Amino acid sequence: MYKDSKLHEECGVFGIYARDNDVKVASACYYALYSLQHRGQESCGIAVNDDGLIYCHKDAGLVNEVFDEDILARLNVGQMAIGHCRYGTMGHDPRVNAQPLVVNHVKGAMALAHNGALTNAAELRRELELGGAIFHTTSDTEVISYIITQQRLKSPSIEEAVSRAMDQLAGAYSLVVMSPTKMIAARDPHGFRPLCIGQIGEDIVFASESCALDSVGARFVRDVEPGEIVIVDRDGLRIDRRHVGKAPKTTCIFEYLYFARPDSVIDGSSVHRARVRAGELLAQEHPVEADVVIGVPDSGIDAAIGYARASGIPYGIGFIKNKYIGRTFIQPTQSDREDKVRIKLNPVAEVVRGKRVVMVDDSIVRGTTSARIVRLLRNAGATEVHFRSSAPKFLNPCYFGTDIDSRENLIACKYSTEDIATIIGVDTLGFLSCESVLKIPERSRGFCDACFTGNYPVEPPRNPGKSKFEYKISERKGEKSE
């Protein structure tokens, strides 16, 4: 287990406010979470509001493992529901940190679903604990819930409490909050993580990605602007823009490279088109003589198509992916990542045997997965393997919700490009430049590329290591640091 690891989150959130009592709000959440499953595969949950009472079911596992027809039937009540799917890095029980988080206080109840990571979570948590707060999880979400609750006790409305809480929060957060009478969506002033608004007739929905809107038959309305608070209740939809423009827009560029589904549109830019563009630029920067271009499923495929298009080298289907295996990059431990690579991908020997192969993938982080995939191609008969990464070199940890925990675990921090090529077993290796990666979204502008450049838009945490509580959990689970 890696030491100095911080609890990060990269999650999917969804919310629905239905004006028609016959709408099955829990079922809508279920289908939406299915579409957002790629954003988190460790735990999930749905909370519903039935006449002011909030009921929640959540557990560790995939969406279809946590929910069945009987559970959904019990949850299909009321007019509002929020859903969440989550992944974690290490050092915790996934059931403990499963969301949505439900809080009961003297002014009512609140359910909260959160995607992102706060940079001042440790300071806020310590301040709250010294004031008598008792925490049951290790997630930033509980910190946010305490801050909102504190503000709610002295605010005239839940939306005012959320606005005041945003004055205290730093870092990345896209939130969906449900009170007894309202649903609120909020995005941090930098807009690190995506959040959009959709509509089904008169019903309003919020989702991390537009692909979730498609799954429930919702029409895409627009993205929630960075810093914007959107409120929905019986009187309709209202907007609070007090925090809009307080900070420069810095959406995570890795959303376009890896996290989001290719059929999603984020801040006006198609994810599919962005990845194709990355491949085209990669071909210009790192040309090579080869017989076939292949992509590593799933997020490397679009970039491979772009590389083939720009280079004139034929595109081929190089791998078949086992669809029942989760994404290796977001598995909690390194041993889990390595075990799952063995059964996740199988090369199509007819495509690569006797060929000079350009293999395009979204990134190289630690290098172990890449090395295993290259060996698969070699064993299938590829005569040459030329690796092309549609992301630049990862040189810095991320504090805004991506599973890049420290420099010591990043292969590019230790080795040159040539050395990495030798380590992972490829003939040549090329990374997309930092200048080009910011050009891949068509319309959106303003990105965070700190994991590549070290230019953090928000001051990093002073002590990003594990808390004592997290270490104790790790030790209890038998997870020892190297």
Worst-scoring range by mean pLDDT, 278-282, 336-340, 409-413? 336-340
143, pLDDT greater than 80:
yes
CATH code given to domain 270-449? 3.40.50.2020
Mean pLDDT of 431-437: 97
Return the pLDDT at 89: 47
Beta-bridged to residue 335, according to DSSP, are: none
For residue 69, CA distances in Å to 49, 64, 78, 216, 372 come to 19, 10, 17, 17, 39
What does the pLDDT look like over 207-221, one tens digit per residue?
999 999 999 999 999
420's tokens: 């990495």
Domains 12-250 and 270-449 share a fold: no
Q: Which of 194-208, 252-266, 332-346 has the lowest mean pLDDT?
A: 332-346
11 is catalytic: yes
For residue 472, pLDDT beyond 70: no
> Is pLDDT above 60 for 275?
yes
Q: Which of 11, 211, 252, 398 is catalytic?
A: 11
Distances (CA, A) of 64 to 281, 339, 391, 406, 414: 39, 23, 32, 33, 41
Q: Kind of pairing, strands 43-50 and 269-270? A: unpaired
Quickly name the fold that domain 12-250 has. Glutamine Phosphoribosylpyrophosphate, subunit 1, domain 1 (3.60.20)
Tens digit of each residue's pLDDT (9 = 90 or more) over 278-295: 999 999 999 999 999 999
Of the candidates 330, 324, 323, 473, which has an alpha carbon nearest to the alpha carbon of residue 398?
330
Listed residue (175, 123, 171, 182) closest to 11, CA to CA? 175
Q: In the chain, where are the structural domains located?
A: 12-250, 270-449
